[in-house]
Amino acid sequence: MKSALSLRFVFGLIALFFSCTMSRSQTVIPLWPDGQIPNDLKNRNIQEKIEVGNDGVLRISNIVLPTLSVYMPEKPTGAAVVICPGGGYRIEASGHEGVDVAQWFNSFGVTAFVLKYRLPDDALWANKHEVALQDALKAMQLVRTNATKYKVDPNRIGIMGFSAGGHLASTVSTHWQSAPAMTGLKNLPNAEICKPNFSILIYPVISSGSFKHAGSFELLLGKNPSPEQLEYYSSEKQVSDKTPPTLLVHATDDKGVPVENSLMYYDALRKYKIPASILVYENGGHGFGLGKKQKGSVKHWPDGCQAWMEGMGLLEPKN
């Protein structure tokens, strides 16, 4: 009996924590109207899972209802960012790589949207490799079409991602042109409605080559992906003159996702003369979020990010 009561107490605390965390947003928007989610196999035996680990990290998995949580600043500048938390395409670390980041953006006038995107799962979705990209492109569309409602400048909407969320953000940045051909997005007036005006990639998974994060690619593409799939989702190979300006942040001692992922993407951007900056720190490891708990210079990356946005003219107050 005591054991059962203890479990109920723990699950109650988790639910309360999640509820309080998400309630800081003004609105939670379902991505797909009337439950018409692309590639849905309608398996409702699997239920969404929300956990807070011993490390204090909020993790969401088995996502069946993708959403956008809206965080509006008191004095909006017009800039906006869609945030993709990381988690290796297995979970989403929606606290320190989502909500915390959104509130930080709000502190200097940026409207933030935390994306809860579908994770690749053969039990839930057909063509599982498509679903996260579908959700991220749909999020860009929703933010831009509701720009007036959220006091956003439609020409200053960016995408941000951490780790595997960084891979998702880079995939949107390099493949936004394909949006009108994707399931669930075929009725778009044009591809530009899904285009990020800028990208911010934090310790991103980028390459399917020598420096790949094997777990992310296996979950996304399966154990035996085709060469064409590996090429398509290796973002440094997909950069073009239509890829948006980008800021990258990485730590040299990252043992999860090697810093070469950011370096290769940065080099690809430079070849196309796309405005790009990279902040590389000696220490920080992987998964540092805003870096508040880190020692050394990595904790200052948010200052560098804000300065980059200012330099790009993204933070000028909206008229």
Q: Does the pLDDT of residue 22 top 70, yes or no?
A: no
Confidence (pLDDT) at 296: 83
How confident is the model over 124-146, as pLDDT tens digits? 999 999 999 999 999 999 999 99
Give the closest residue to 180 by CA, choosing from 199, 197, 193, 167: 193
Confidence (pLDDT) at 44: 83
Band of residue 25 on the pLDDT scale cut at 50, 70, 90: low
Which contiguous run of DSSP H or E holds residue 142? helix 128-145
Question: Under a CB-based contact definition with an 8 Å cutoff, are residues 14 and 51 in contact?
Answer: yes
Confidence (pLDDT) at 295: 82
| N-terminal to C-terminal alpha carbon distance within the chain | 62
Which contiguous run of DSSP H or E holds residue 54? none
Band of residue 21 on the pLDDT scale cut at 50, 70, 90: very low
For the question of whether the overall pTM of this predicted structure is more than 0.85, the answer is yes
Instruction: Give the torsion sign (CA, 29, 166, 37, 80).
Output: positive
What amino acid is encoded at 194 in this protein?
C
Confidence (pLDDT) at 156: 98
How confident is the model over 204-258, as pLDDT tens digits? 999 998 787 878 999 999 999 999 999 999 999 999 999 999 999 999 999 999 9
How confident is the model over 68-98, as pLDDT tens digits? 999 999 999 999 999 999 999 999 999 999 9
Confidence (pLDDT) at 112: 98
Integer Cα distance of 149 and 82 in angstroms:
16
Confidence (pLDDT) at 57: 83
- DSSP assignment of 33-46: GGG--TTB---TTS
Q: What percent of the chain has pLDDT over 90?
A: 79
